[in-house]
Homo-oligomer: A and B are copies of this chain.
């Protein structure tokens, strides 16, 4: 299936350009949605690996079952139960990153011309996966509490053909940083209930709340009862261990997960056993909790620096989200201003971010941009925001 449409190709080269920028040390980059290299638990993982029995290391070098390394499936089930997901009747499959999880779900459900419902804005990788299977994308805008229900209802009433999939990132959403209220989650489930639409609940950041008071908001939709929505919950080790491990997973109805396994078999046979062995030791030896205890205040501090700098430097009329967790602030320009113009000026000044159209389901809407505070060196965040604000001021008087 050929799918190298111009828009996709542009997006691909755009991403490459942004990655190159992020790697240029003279640029203060807010582009990358990943932890800073200094934040990875390298010593902890080295210590865990060195203690592994020979037999386990041997298994790490070997093929494993397509569904995942059995020990990791076990420890991951225990972890997911601890996050409030009743695992007993659920299927679980380890994937080569969350991206593969989303791609596999797309592969088994989407035929050319099928519709996928997303948030607007939405995650670039999700959009790319849906587009790669020639799906049409419709989207409902979000506010500070999640998808706007009247907009979602309007979309579902209007569509002659029901969407096959609904894709949501409810916890510290990428790119907006917002988190759904409990009421909004319930309303979305009520609207989707019985429609046959399969929901993808994408949760890369849920563990990264800043204040314990917000932890209850990260309780999952797949863990909620009283609805009739088949939910595929997609998780990842990217933000709680390291993206380089390429470890994600999908929890869902057993019959769906069985089909994902079949699709994965011909896609890459199995996920790296080597990194699965590491992740299993990481969960089993309780290395995750202390790591999260360290990361939560770290990301909170970074977010606070960014939000303070935005408040101090942005001109009137510009608005932005106030994340309570995760990696992102979403900045919106007044009067439909084009963020590409701002991007060019900011780059001239020495700072970079990702323009809004990258996250637009229609690929066009571009009056916002994403600032990630996760990757930039902490002592350069304020300076970088000043550069971005200065660029904005060239257009907002």
Collect the chain B residues with CB atoms within 8 Å of residue A111's CB: 1-2
Choose from B57, B65, B272, B273 the contact partner of A42 (Cβ within 8 Å): B57
- Residues facing B in A221-261 (CB within 8 A) are 238, 241-246, 259, 261
Check if B99 sits within 8 Å of A96, measured CB to CB.
no
Would you give the shortest CB distance from A293 to chain B, in whole angstroms? Answer: 19
Collect the chain B residues with CB atoms within 8 Å of residue A274's CB: 242, 244-246, 272, 274-275, 278
* One of A128-136, A346-354, A359-367, A389-397 at the interface: A128-136
Check if A58 sits within 8 Å of B42, measured CB to CB.
yes
- Residues facing B in A106-146 (CB within 8 A) are 107-108, 110-111, 125, 128-129, 131-133
A90, B95: Cα distance in complex, Å: 30
Check if A1 sits within 8 Å of B133, measured CB to CB.
yes
Choose from B19, B99, B262 the contact partner of A8 (Cβ within 8 Å): B262
- For A, the interface residue count at a CB cutoff of 8 angstroms equals 68
Choose from B2, B40, B63, B241 the contact partner of A244 (Cβ within 8 Å): B63
A15, B270: Cα distance in complex, Å: 13
Contact string against B for A residues 58-93, beta-carbon threshold 8 Å, 1 for contact and 0 otherwise: 111111110000000000000000000000000000
Choose from B62, B65, B265, B267 the contact partner of A267 (Cβ within 8 Å): B267
Copies in the complex: 2
Check if B272 sits within 8 Å of A246, measured CB to CB.
yes
A242, B37: Cα distance in complex, Å: 27
With A12-B265, A266-B129, A272-B275: A243-B37 Cβ-Cβ less than 8 Å: no
A16 at the B interface (CB under 8 A): yes
A4 at the B interface (CB under 8 A): yes
Check if A12 sits within 8 Å of B262, measured CB to CB.
yes
A287 at the B interface (CB under 8 A): no
Please indicate which of the listed interface residues A243, A262, A266 has the most CB atoms of chain B within 10 Å of its own CB: A266
Collect the chain B residues with CB atoms within 8 Å of residue A38's CB: 58
Check if B34 sits within 8 Å of A58, measured CB to CB.
no
Check if B65 sits within 8 Å of A16, measured CB to CB.
yes
A51 at the B interface (CB under 8 A): no
- Residues facing B in A1-35 (CB within 8 A) are 1-4, 8-9, 12, 15-16, 19, 32, 34-35
Collect the chain B residues with CB atoms within 8 Å of residue A244's CB: 59-64, 272-274, 277
Check if A246 sits within 8 Å of B265, measured CB to CB.
no
Would you give the shortest CB distance from A51 to chain B, in whole angstroms? Answer: 12
Closest residue of chain B to A37, judged by CB? B58
Closest residue of chain B to A272, judged by CB? B246
Check if B262 sits within 8 Å of A61, measured CB to CB.
no
Would you give the shortest CB distance from A71 to chain B, in whole angstroms? Answer: 13
Collect the chain B residues with CB atoms within 8 Å of residue A266's CB: 99, 103, 125, 128-129, 131-132
Collect the chain B residues with CB atoms within 8 Å of residue A261's CB: 12
A268 at the B interface (CB under 8 A): yes
Closest residue of chain B to A129, judged by CB? B266
Closest residue of chain B to A99, judged by CB? B269
A262, B54: Cα distance in complex, Å: 39
A-B contact pairs, 24 of them (CB 8 A): A1-B111, A3-B263, A12-B265, A16-B65, A19-B65, A60-B242, A61-B243, A61-B245, A62-B243, A63-B238, A63-B243, A63-B244, A96-B272, A97-B268, A97-B269, A99-B266, A99-B268, A128-B266, A132-B267, A242-B274, A244-B273, A244-B274, A244-B277, A272-B274
